[in-house]
Amino acid sequence: MNKQKIYTALWGLLMIILGIGALAYNFGALDQYKIITAYIVAALLAVMGAAFLLAIAFQRENWFYVIPGFSLLSLGGMVYLSTLEAVRPEWLGALFLGGIALGFLVIFLRNRQERWWALLQAETIFIIALIGLGLGIPESAARLVGAILFGGFAASFFFVWLFSGHRGRFLWALILAGVLAIFAAAIFTSGQNQLMLLLWPVLLLLIGLFLIARVFSSGEKKQPPAVPIESLTPAPDSEPAEEDAPAKIQLPDAMQPRPAPEAPPEPPSDEPLDIEVIEPEVEDETP
């Protein structure tokens, strides 16, 4: 099993655990442990946020980890403060928005010339948080406003991961989108009928089971057969190539140099040849 399948199986197991926990919480199995459960969830969110911020010290190129870092820390603080009756809902929403805006502000401060766009994001989110504090949230619309707020940010981070082009590098956006989507579903279904309380935990269970089934159903990729070493060794009768011989370039037939045409033979001439005849000398043998 390769690394990717292990990660997929872990994500599926996490979804199943969250689904079971949500079912137990929604149907009252954890009523006597609500405070302890809230503390545990707040601590887990804070640890996740601190882990993202700590990772920047070792991976400075992943400067965008400040967004999930401060966002998860603010979510942890929001869950903890929700256990206190004196804290109003608009303060909880402002804390969550302030954490996201703080992440964008830190990005801007680390590189003001190239990351000026982060300041616009921080200002916009801060203004929304201040408007919510100033106007307040009616109790009748608190559930709907909270679901829209968390669901909207969940969709935004999901699209950041989907269209980033580097999904492995932007996995943090998918994690943050999943956490915010769970918060949106929990807020929207609180106080609803049993069908709504059952819907989103079952959805988490189905997603987890699908991921695990996908891991075990996908077969291993068949590796190509290995080439035997004997087929790579030269035959014993073959002559070894000369190491010092220069490389030769074989040109195609159309580019081969052609020999120069031979001159035609000269025609025979009708003029007589000037041949000198030399007669041998004869000695006189008479006395």
Cβ–Cβ under 8 Å, residues 170 and 160: yes
Please check the confidence at residue 187 and state whether its pLDDT lies above 90: no
When pLDDT is cut at 50, 70 and 90, the band that residue 164 belongs to is confident
Helices (H), the chain: 3-26, 34-58, 66-81, 89-110, 117-135, 142-162, 171-189, 194-217
Of the ranges 100-109, 155-164, 177-186, 250-259, which one carries the lowest mean pLDDT score? 250-259
d(Cα 159, Cα 152) in Å, to the nearest integer?
A: 11
CA distance 5 to 161: 20
Specify the pLDDT at position 287.
Answer: 46
Does residue 125 fall inside a structural domain? yes
Mean pLDDT for 243-262 is 57
Residue 250 has pLDDT above 70, yes or no: no
Range of the domain at 181: 33-193
What pLDDT is stored for residue 28 in this prediction? 77
Instruction: Give domain status of residue 275, yes or no.
Output: no
Question: According to the model, what pLDDT value does residue 261 have?
Answer: 60
Interatomic CA distance for residues 44 and 79, integer angstroms: 11
Cα–Cα distance for residue pair 31/44, rounded to 1 Å: 20
Is pLDDT at 208 greater than 60 in this prediction? yes
Global model pTM greater than 0.85:
no
270 within a domain of the structure (yes/no)? no
Mean pLDDT of 184-195: 77
Give CA–CA dist 75/72, Å, rounded. 5
Structure tokens that stand for 281 in this block:
């000398």
The residue type at 70? F
Q: What is the signed CA dihedral for 279, 285, 286, 287, rounded to 10 degrees? A: 140
Residue 185 lies in a domain: yes
137 occurs within a structural domain: yes
Cα–Cα distance measured from residue 50 to residue 159, given in angstroms and rounded to the nearest whole number: 24
Which of 125, 121, 177, 180 lies closest to 150 in space, CA to CA? 180
Per the structure, the count of domains in the chain is: 1
Residue 93 φ/ψ, nearest 5 degrees: -65, -40
Mean pLDDT check: name the lowest of 78-92, 188-202, 235-249.
235-249
Identify the residue with better confidence: 191 or 117: 117
- pLDDT, residue 70, reads 93
Residue 162 covered by a domain = yes
- Flag the least confident range among 128-132, 262-266, 269-273: 269-273
Using one digit for the tens of pLDDT, what is the confidence trace for 18-63? 888 888 877 777 778 888 888 998 999 999 999 999 988 888 888 8
Residue 280 phi, psi dihedral angles, 5° rounding? -75, 145
CA atoms of 22 and 39, how far apart (whole Å) = 15
In angstroms, rounded to a whole number, what is the distance separating the alpha carbons of residues 209 and 20?
12
Q: Which amino acid would we find at residue 203?
A: L
Residue 235 within any structural domain of the chain = no
